Structure 1
Amino acid sequence: MAPAPLSDFVQMVCESLAPLGDLAVRRMFGGYGLYCDGLFFAIVADEVLYFKADDGNRADYEALGLRPFKPSDDKPVTLAYYPPPESALDEPDELIRWARPALAAAARATALKGARKKTPAREPV
């Protein structure tokens, strides 16, 4: 059986973000994960786009009063993904300007995970 087609919103987001590199979309938990050149840098949930954030770009979202992705209304947990301003969805160049720091945050997170894996296990004392 063929997979269900992507929503119109996800297709529009992918078309707008195509200049970033090789994009891939994976269905996950009722939404979508967006990858660029193998880096997981964005989520689409309930037709809302969220970009990866860390100390390098989180302040840009917070300065505009944007709130992090909250996967469940009944739990206080949030993830380090923030929506770009609404205006970015209407202007591809602006969307790219918000996406590039998210891609950099994803690269930093991946590098950090790789560094943790390479750390040798401690010998018992």
Structure 2
Amino acid sequence: MDDDAIRDLFAGLGPISIRRMFGGKGIYHQGVVFALQVNGEILLKADARSAPAFQAVGCRQWMPAGRKGRGPVAMPYWSIPESAIDDAEEMTLWARRAYEAGVRSIKK
């Protein structure tokens, strides 16, 4: 997904910035990373408060391979709910959840 398509996806959240990171892209709102693009997939940030909502609608948690054969490592990013992909209002709700998780992670 190119940067313009990412901006369109998150237009309901407000202005975003996109920076290269982890061989992909970090997606920021008001200076807070709330999403990543990894291997062409957009992933939304979650935490202990919001992850159950992602899990409840069938999202997958990002689990890249660990170093030195240690197996997958659970990361705080989840796939976008399928129902939100073509629904701008719903996408905005999930993006806000991800942004709020990003804000909470900074405050720790």
* TM-score category, normalised to shorter length: 0.7 to 0.9
Percent identity reads 35
Counterpart residue type for residue 63 of structure 1: A
TM-score calculated relative to the size of structure 1: 0.75
What is the CA distance between 1:57 and its match in structure 2? 0.9
- The unaligned stretches of length 5 or more in structure 2 are none
Q: 1:51 aligns with which of 39, 44, 51?
A: 44
TM-score calculated relative to the size of structure 2: 0.85
Residue in structure 2 matched with residue 109 of structure 1 by the alignment: 105
Residue in structure 1 matched with residue 91 of structure 2 by the alignment: 95
- The unaligned stretches of length 5 or more in structure 1 are 1-6, 113-125
- Please say if 1:16 is aligned against 2:12: no
- The answer to which of 40-49 and 15-24 deviates more is 15-24
Q: Quickly say closer, same or farther: Cα 1:30–1:101, change in 2 above 3 A.
A: same
Residue in structure 1 matched with residue 60 of structure 2 by the alignment: 67
SS of the equivalent of 2:25 reads: strand
- Please say if 1:35 is aligned against 2:31: no
Q: Greater CA radius of gyration, 1 or 2?
A: 1
Alignment size in residue pairs = 105
SS of the equivalent of 1:88 reads: helix
Q: Distance in 2 between matches of 1:110 and 1:17?
A: 21
Q: Deviations over 1:77-104 (max 9, x none)?
A: 1201101212211122111111111111
